[in-house]
Amino acid sequence: MAYEGALVALADPTRRRVFEQLRTGPKSVGGIARDMPVSRPAVSQHLRVLKEAGLVRDEQDGARRVYSIDPRGLGPLRRWLDQFWDQALDAFKAEVERPTPLPSPRRRRRS
């Protein structure tokens, strides 16, 4: 599946920063490396992993290659979580609103 490994790819803090650099728009490897204390080859390597995980895509823009976030990357996971929490919170509401159990019957005093 395309999204498998997406979160694993983002678990690396540096790679996540590379990914986050693309949030404001497509960038080239050089553009990303300029704003980070990481070499261009390292940025390229991170981009490759992100691309394999379906999180970024690349295209040729004239002489340079630019990378951008592929918004489809985390879609399936988000959709699943969305459904999961709907279900879970409904169950939570049902429990909160369940009438409190009646106090246990008073012990009968032996006469």
Partner 1 sequence: MNRTISISPVLKDIDVNAPPARAFEVFAGFRWWPKSHSILESKSPQVAVTIEPKVGGRWFERGEDGSECDWGKVLTWEPPKRMVLTWMLDSTFQINPNVVTEIEVTFTAIGANRTHVSLEHRLFDRYGEEGEKIRAAVDSPDGWPGLLKSFAEAAAA
* Site for partner 1 contains 14 (CB under 8 A): no
Q: Which of 14, 24, 48, 103 binds partner 1 (CB under 8 A)?
A: 24
Per rule CB under 8 A, is residue 30 in the interface with partner 1? no
Q: Which residues contact 66 (CB under 8 A, 6 or more apart)?
A: 26, 27, 28, 58, 59, 60
Residue 35 within binding range of partner 1, rule CB under 8 A: no
Interaction of residue 3 with partner 1, rule CB under 8 A: yes
Task: Give percent helix, percent strand, percent coil of the chain, each to the nearest 5.
Answer: 55, 15, 35
Contact positions vs partner 1 (CB under 8 A): 3-8, 10-11, 13, 16, 19, 22-26, 69, 71, 74, 76-78, 80-97
